[in-house]
Amino acid sequence: MLESKIRSYENDTIVVQYDVKRCIHAAECVRGLPTVFNPQRRPWIDTNGASADDIAAVIARCPTGALHYSRNDGGAAEAVPAEHSVTLEPDGPLVLRGHFQITDQAGHVLLEDTRIALCRCGASQNKPLCDGSHHTIGFAAD
């Protein structure tokens, strides 16, 4: 299994899971819903800051899969994208959306997710996942 460090935040309607090891600080969550996702506050995720539907919509924008949710209120579960896509981020990772499995050489599933960011700078400490090291080393794609 790939390295993970998951923290959970919840209320009566939604549980938000945050994997510290997969976050590359793309800030989609912070820009999308600052009343819920505020890195200046502790805890930085406040599930009472917006509706469960709004929180779920912003979590779906997380490019790395560092954020996930489950519903306590019977609301819709996270949807698997209908199409697979791979996006080459400028001077950053490969971002995968769809239903993907990362397996080891023996075929064991290391990660299964709908959103994954893969390192292409070579500096990640959590390979094959991106950990944001491209920012630190000043990675520039050819």
Question: Is residue 2 very low, low, confident or very high in pLDDT (cuts 50, 70, 90)?
Answer: confident
Those residues whose C-beta lies under 8 Å from the C-beta of residue 50, and which sit 6 or more positions away, are 33, 35, 36
Instruction: Return the H-helix or E-strand segment holding 94.
Output: strand 94-103
Structural domains in the chain plus CATH codes: 6-71 (3.30.70.20), 85-137 (3.40.5)
pLDDT tens profile 72-92: 999 999 999 999 999 999 999
Question: Is residue 54 very low, low, confident or very high in pLDDT (cuts 50, 70, 90)?
Answer: very high
Give the separation between CA 114 and CA 62, rounded to whole angstroms: 10
Say yes or no to pLDDT of 1 above 70.
no
Instruction: Return the H-helix or E-strand segment holding 14.
Output: strand 14-19
Q: What is the pLDDT of residue 40?
A: 97
End-to-end, the C-alpha distance of the chain in Å comes to 32
Give bridge partners of residue 97 from the DSSP assignment: 85, 115
Mean pLDDT of the chain: 95
